[in-house]
Structure 1
């Protein structure tokens, strides 16, 4: 397994984050969209969108390196209520995106462990997330202790309807 390093990303790293976000998204998700992902990439990874998120005190971004090569990023929402858990007890794992070359190498497992360590640092009782029901990521999260606890449908008209379904998953700490 490669040597993994996960470092915080602030607004000074906006363009590095933007680059890895677009590269990793393009590697895996363009087939979901009628427009090849243009709408989503602009909505989520434009300079303005990332600057807004990077300056949000509730959002925490991390850059993921494997053997010193930038291979992905992690986004956590540090205080986001879930089910019966108030915001001070719940952390949302919003995104783990890895490049195609980094996938399947054990990196994601290390990133989940890292997210759990961040949750522990903030005395969280639960980590929750949404995973596409058509994606292998559901199996990945189950292998890492998460359980399905609900469903959600993405409201994006630009997305092909057969890919809008999501599982809501959680791990209680």
Structure 2
């Protein structure tokens, strides 16, 4: 396996994260959503202002996966009040693991997940949780393989389309 590098991201990296986010989200979900809903979601979720605010939040952490000097994916985790839903003080939320399609199957997602696990252990947290679209079997299988179990569902708004995310959690030992 080639050597890939995972590094912490800072506010200065927002353009790289923005590009990866838009590209990977489109690669994964464009075929299942309308062009209007995709454009609405991408412009709102990856705007300069939103990305800078997220990167400035002390309760969120970003990590970039690199192939030499090319960014190929990223991880966003949240603790405390930065968590999108549960806001469990003893949990880490994985909000995003995004990997470019050309790097699928090269264990980049696993490297990013392992970084999230490392952060949770460093912070002595009791669990990791996330939401994953019920129509994304590849991601669901990935999380199940890593010990996550479904515990609830929530609505994810994709433009004007209300979709269902499966909420999954892994209890840490």
Asked if Structure 1 and Structure 2 have the same fold, meaning a TM-score greater than 0.5 normalized by the shorter chain, the answer is: yes
What corresponds to 1:21 in structure 2? 21
Change (3 A) 1:11 1:168: same
Check the 8 A contact 2:38/2:159 in 1, yes or no. Answer: no
What corresponds to 1:165 in structure 2? 164
Change (3 A) 1:147 1:42: same
Deviation at 1:82, TM superposition (A): 7.3
Deviation at 1:12, TM superposition (A): 1.0
The equivalences for 1:96-107 within 5 A come to 96-107=97-108
Check the 8 A contact 1:82/1:128 in 2, yes or no. Answer: no
What corresponds to 2:8 in structure 1? 8
Structural RMSD (CA): 2.0
Deviation at 1:2, TM superposition (A): 2.6
TM-score (norm: length of structure 2):
0.88
What corresponds to 2:33 in structure 1? 33
Distance 1:86 1:43 in 2: 26
Change (3 A) 1:38 1:82: closer
What corresponds to 2:109 in structure 1? 108
Distance 1:147 1:71 in 2: 28
Runs of 4+ residues deviating >4 angstroms: none
Check the 8 A contact 2:16/2:71 in 1, yes or no. Answer: no
2:142 aligned to which of 140, 143, 147: 140
Deviation at 1:22, TM superposition (A): 1.5
